[in-house]
Structure 1
Amino acid sequence: MTKTAESVWSDCLSFIQDNIQPQAYKTWFEPIKAVKLTDNALSIQVPSKFFYEWLEEHYVKVLKVALTKELGENARLVYIIKMENTYGNKQPFTEKIPSSNRGNVKAQEVDVPLKNKSPELKNPFVIPGIRNVKIESQLNPSYNFENFLEGDANRLARSAGLAVANKPGGTSFNPLLIFGGVGLGKTHLAHAIGVEIKDKYPEKTVLYISAEKFTQQYIESVKKNNRNDFIHFYQIVDVLIIDDVQFLSGKTGTQDVFFHIFNHLHQNGKQVILTSDKAPVDMQDIEQRLLSRFKWGLSAELQKPDFETRVSILRNMLYRDGVEMPDDIVDYVAKNIKTNVRELEGAIISLIAQSSFNKKEVTLDLAKQIVEKFVKNTKREVSIDYIQKVVSDYFQMDVATLQSKTRKRHIVQARQLAMFFAKKFTKASLASIGSQIGKRDHATVLHACKTVDNLTATDKQFRKYVEDLSKKLSL
């Protein structure tokens, strides 16, 4: 029987499938098309230059053995690389090979003798800090489970993180979305999961990246006309960790590409871990189809640590740094800094620094001075989401009612107060405040602030509202 390109490649695939992981086979070999067979040279079509380079870097041995079995010792492999220069719903490759360039489709042939080699390959999608095709995880090993202390405020998120680390892609926590306020340990926990996975499964490709950097890379890929390479790159990751996913808000193109990457990873049993400063239900300007996927797995909240957990965090930190400190001072710091872990650790570092630089003994008085400065400096760091929650709770309504279009007087006043305090306690622009409080414009916010000023001066009951809320938000 005469051999054809299809029959030779089909036999090669049978051998390759038996010798590599099923997922690797699906990702890297199923998309390949056999094109022609000339003497002992088999031509195959691949979607991109990156695809060809990845095969050469990781699968040249198995390709050599498979092809030698079929075509003998002088077997040669010719890659036909064909890329779409536009993007959208088009396939990244087609079966027809044009004899010349047609429109925006390019074809390129690379004749590769099958030698065992480890060529120096450059990743066509260049990521700062990631060289060649080898993907560095970008993880911080000092952020691990050992120093992420468990307490009531983080037990669910920590336990889910450990479950994911033990069986990435194999639990119902996919994606795992960790959300909570500033400085509560979202990034620490995300890194800890990645570090644990790399420890248990060294062969897995783990990548940590901020949503901001992901967006920058996507914009760069569109500029350089290599969006397909960008997508291929992220599709080969086993565990993708995206920090601060709320920064995708309003970025339609980035959301679209992330949607397709997410689908590919999820469908192929890869693990996705996300962090955010808010729950999916509170995210604004994120496409509904993406939000629905965020809800597929588990959304675990990190809350403010209770007193016992704060004490444990401080003692663990002091022990780690080999510093001794009296219990009453540790307790004082833990009692007075309640907002987040980052500030808690910052206060202790300041206390140690003051003591060593000024050669002062660590006393309760010194602790009071440090804590007072910390509390004073962080008092005004209040988010718009938090303000809306405090105002809604005060008037016994939910945030959705506060943001609604209703013109009922008590709801309008609550909304105006939320805008007034957002302007007072945050650095957000009027447009940003309006967008987050019921999708209003900046003129509405300006009007709200003037109304609150006027009513405070003329209405005794309203003045009490302002005073009460000021106290709650200043705590």
Structure 2
Amino acid sequence: MSNLHNPPTLNSISPLGFWDDAIGILSRELSPQQFKTWIQPLTLLSQEDCEYSLTIGAPNRFKLDWIKKTFADRFQELAAQHFGRPINVNFALAPEGAPATQNTGSTPIPEAAMAMLQPSTSPEPDTTTSLEEGAFEIGDHSKLNPNLTFETFVTGKANQLARATSIQVAHNPGTSYNPMFLYGGVGLGKTHLIHAIGNHLLKEKPNARIRYIHAEQYVSDVVRAYQQKAFDRFKRYYHSLDLLLIDDIQFFSGKSRTQEEFFYAFEALLSNKSQVIITSDTYPKEMAGIDDRLISRFDSGLTVAIEPPELEMRVAILMKKAISEGIPMSEDVAFFVAKHLRSNVRELEGALRKILAFVRFHGREVTIDVARTALKDLLSIQNRQISVENIQKSVADFYSIKVADMYSKKRPANITRPRQIAMFMAKELTQKSLPEIGELFGGRDHTTVLHAVRKIADERAHDSQLNHEIHVIEQTLKA
């Protein structure tokens, strides 16, 4: 690490050195599929106008938006660690012909093929990588991340049903629940669970034909098969799997040819009693741009939601991951972070990386004050995101009642229940105390709020429909 008093500039440490280090670190942190899909196509663009600035280029608008949303904080941390001071990392579309992190070769995709796969309004996937001769052979790698197992999955009320059914499927593939459809917001553990199922089956049956694939990569496979007139090989591979794990199926939206090929693969696998497991950020019947016959097939098996982790689970996740990083975190610090960051596990991991980078750089111990300083910008954003007023409006809109009904003394069931749900969400998603929440709901006593919170929490544990409704409202609030 560089000297704290004389931090190096981009002129004294090569940006290419940073890029090599960053790519190496991310290749170890991500699964091979994730790395190939998201990181490998990126380019380090030169910067001449700012001494402490770098720009990373993405090959298309879709990948640019995704990288900014998902990996911006991580690149910022890696740059700060490498150069010994904060670096402004920007993201932009790479100019045509800019080399990616690895030269994978490219072959133009016929416009007719892309037109069949892509709606005119959606971003195109990266489909320039040429098809390897054996890409669809049975011996192809499973693409599983060996670190994502049931043992490394932190369990709580929010995901215990999803974990239990995943274990059941892992022990009885093709018979217990087929297909299995996991849905929930970003960073809640869907990908971890389906990798865990694959790893368990691979351990039990080393010769099992397993494939994990992100939906966007499946689209690319269809494009390349079309390009090279290799659909027989494509079908032979995908139709003969023992276990197909497909992540983020919502990426199929509007891609009619991809959906058609997946439908045939889906039917073939189920008829062979092979297991199909699908994840999405949306409940099947609410997915836009997906063919009705596919939605019907998705709904024919078991559909399980994964909810945002509750407080105790978030604390457990933080403490476990801090230990794995070699810098244990006390329970009071973990509670402080978990109380402020409520949305998903990925957000918690990002916060933990910020704290650990801060303490390593400054040689400090992990305390609440240090955590508050390290997460200053993140906590400021969180505090602005969700208010009780926004919750009241979102719940009222969802249940088609007036916002004024949240404060009124009316007690019909069609008003009382949404009001209780709003109180529950206010307690879960804000830092307000029970008396403060009661005051914002028409001056109600804190015991009324407590009753509502306990009632909805108890019902949510047993009522999948209520679970889903609250999940949808939360996604609306965080959009």
TM-score (norm 2): 0.53
**Larger deviation, residues 361-370 vs 249-258:** 361-370
Q: Which letter maps to 1:213?
A: Q
Matched, 1:152 2:154: no
Residue 175 of structure 1, aligned match among 176, 179, 186: 179
Q: 1:194/1:128 Cα in 2 relative to 1: closer, same or farther (>3 Å)?
A: farther
- Please name the residue that 1:141 is paired with: 146
Aligned pairs for 1:277-356 (under 5 A) are: 277-356=281-360
CA distance in 1, matches of 2:260, 2:478: 40
Matched, 1:161 2:166: yes
Aligned-residue Cα RMSD (Å) equals 3.0
Q: Deviation per CA, 1:399-440, whole angstroms, max 9, x where unpaired?
A: 9xxxxxxxxxxxxxxxxxxxxxxxxxxxxxxxxxxxxxxxxx
CA distance in 1, matches of 2:331, 2:138: 51
Structure 1 residue 207: Cα displacement: 0.3
CA distance in 2, matches of 1:129, 1:159: 36
Aligned pairs for 1:26-425 (under 5 A) are: 126=131, 133-171=138-176, 173-377=177-381, 393-395=395-397, 397=399
Assess if the C-alpha contact under 8 Å between 2:394 and 2:477 holds in 1: no
Q: 1:295/1:333 Cα in 2 relative to 1: closer, same or farther (>3 Å)?
A: same
CA distance in 2, matches of 1:137, 1:207: 4
Q: Which letter maps to 2:254?
A: G
Structure 1 residue 159: Cα displacement: 0.7
Q: Deviation per CA, 1:165-216, whole angstroms, max 9, x where unpaired?
A: 1111121x11111110011111111111111111111121110001101011
Higher-Rg member (1/2): 1
Structure 1 residue 139: Cα displacement: 0.5
Q: 1:396/1:258 Cα in 2 relative to 1: closer, same or farther (>3 Å)?
A: closer
Q: 1:283/1:322 Cα in 2 relative to 1: closer, same or farther (>3 Å)?
A: same
Q: Deviation per CA, 1:269-313, whole angstroms, max 9, x where unpaired?
A: 000010100110110110000000001111111101000111111
Assess if the C-alpha contact under 8 Å between 1:249 and 1:284 holds in 2: yes
CA distance in 1, matches of 2:322, 2:391: 35
Structure 1 residue 390: Cα displacement: 7.7
Structure 1 residue 340: Cα displacement: 0.7
CA distance in 1, matches of 2:251, 2:149: 25
TM-score (norm 1): 0.54
- The runs of 5 or more residues in structure 1 that have no matched partner are 1-124, 383-387, 400-468
Structure 1 residue 335: Cα displacement: 1.0
- Please name the residue that 1:12 is paired with: none
Q: 1:257/1:396 Cα in 2 relative to 1: closer, same or farther (>3 Å)?
A: closer
CA distance in 1, matches of 2:271, 2:333: 52
CA distance in 2, matches of 1:389, 1:234: 44
- The runs of 5 or more residues in structure 2 that have no matched partner are 1-129, 402-472
Assess if the C-alpha contact under 8 Å between 1:139 and 1:208 holds in 2: yes
Q: 1:389/1:241 Cα in 2 relative to 1: closer, same or farther (>3 Å)?
A: farther
Q: Which letter maps to 2:395?
A: D
Assess if the C-alpha contact under 8 Å between 1:304 and 1:338 holds in 2: yes
SS at match of 1:395: helix
Structure 1 ranges of 4+ moved more than 3 A: 125-133, 375-382, 388-392, 472-475
Structure 1 residue 362: Cα displacement: 2.0
CA distance in 2, matches of 1:398, 1:275: 30
Structure 1 residue 473: Cα displacement: 4.1
